Amino acid sequence: MTRLLVISAATRPTSSGRPVAEWVVGQARDHGAFEVAPVDLAELALPFLDEPEYASTGNYAHQHTRDWSALVDSADAVVFVLPMYNGGFTAPFKNAVDFLYREWQGKPVGLVSYSAGGTGGAPAARMLLPVLTQLGMLPAERSVAIAGINGLVGDGGFNAPEGLAAELAGVLDDVAALVKEPVAA
């Protein structure tokens, strides 16, 4: 079965994204095409990039990089659940991406963004696309942007607005199709 990493890109201890990522994990499991593994960047706690050699060499001096490499290598596809800060993707997330190179290549990727404002973080997802294609990843045609995140997250977790589950299913369908028949980036 296709192994999908759902990577929560948030690192703040009070992140609103964590319940969103948990919801995405549940939806991806229900989708049926994937064996789903949740990943929380806050738990990984990677330092700022501290590898002496380029990631493209695959020569990693640090155990945290080797662990991160093995985790991404273990997956056939990924979904990033990412917040928007100041109109773009976040620094800790880009740092985690930059740690690796070959591990990302050819990997289908779905994007679920969120923000406090009305864009749902779509600008952050758009900003990310050239990075992903540079890495040879295969972005899903569709993406999900969740606006007004602060009003959707509470004690009961993430309260998904009507229609969002269907939107996410579309992204997951795209990712599953790209795993079967990859299209060059």
Ligand X SMILES: Cc1cc2nc3c(=O)[nH]c(=O)nc-3n(C[C@H](O)[C@H](O)[C@H](O)COP(=O)(O)O)c2cc1C
Q: In this chain, which stretch among 11-19, 45-53, 102-110, 173-181 interacts with ligand X, using CB under 6 A?
A: 11-19
- On whether the CB atoms of residues 51 and 62 are closer than 8 A, the answer is yes
Residues 22-61 that bind ligand X (CB under 6 A): none
Sign of CA dihedral 40, 133, 29, 122: positive
Which contiguous run of DSSP H or E holds residue 18? helix 17-31
* Using rule CB under 6 A, residue 149 touches ligand X: yes
* Min CB(129)–ligand X separation in Å: 18
Which of 17, 38 has the CB closer to ligand X?
Answer: 17
What's CA 181's distance to the chain center, in Å?
A: 21
* Min CB(168)–ligand X separation in Å: 17
Reading the block at residue 168, the tokens are: 């996410």
Which of 15, 65 has the CB closer to ligand X?
Answer: 15
Phi, psi of 18 (to 5 degrees): -60, -50
**Which residue has the closest beta carbon to ligand X?**
117
Sign of CA dihedral 35, 40, 120, 152: positive
* Using rule CB under 6 A, residue 84 touches ligand X: yes
For residue 23, which amino acid is it?
W
* Using rule CB under 6 A, residue 85 touches ligand X: yes
Interaction site with ligand X (CB under 6 A): 10, 12, 15-17, 83-87, 115-117, 149
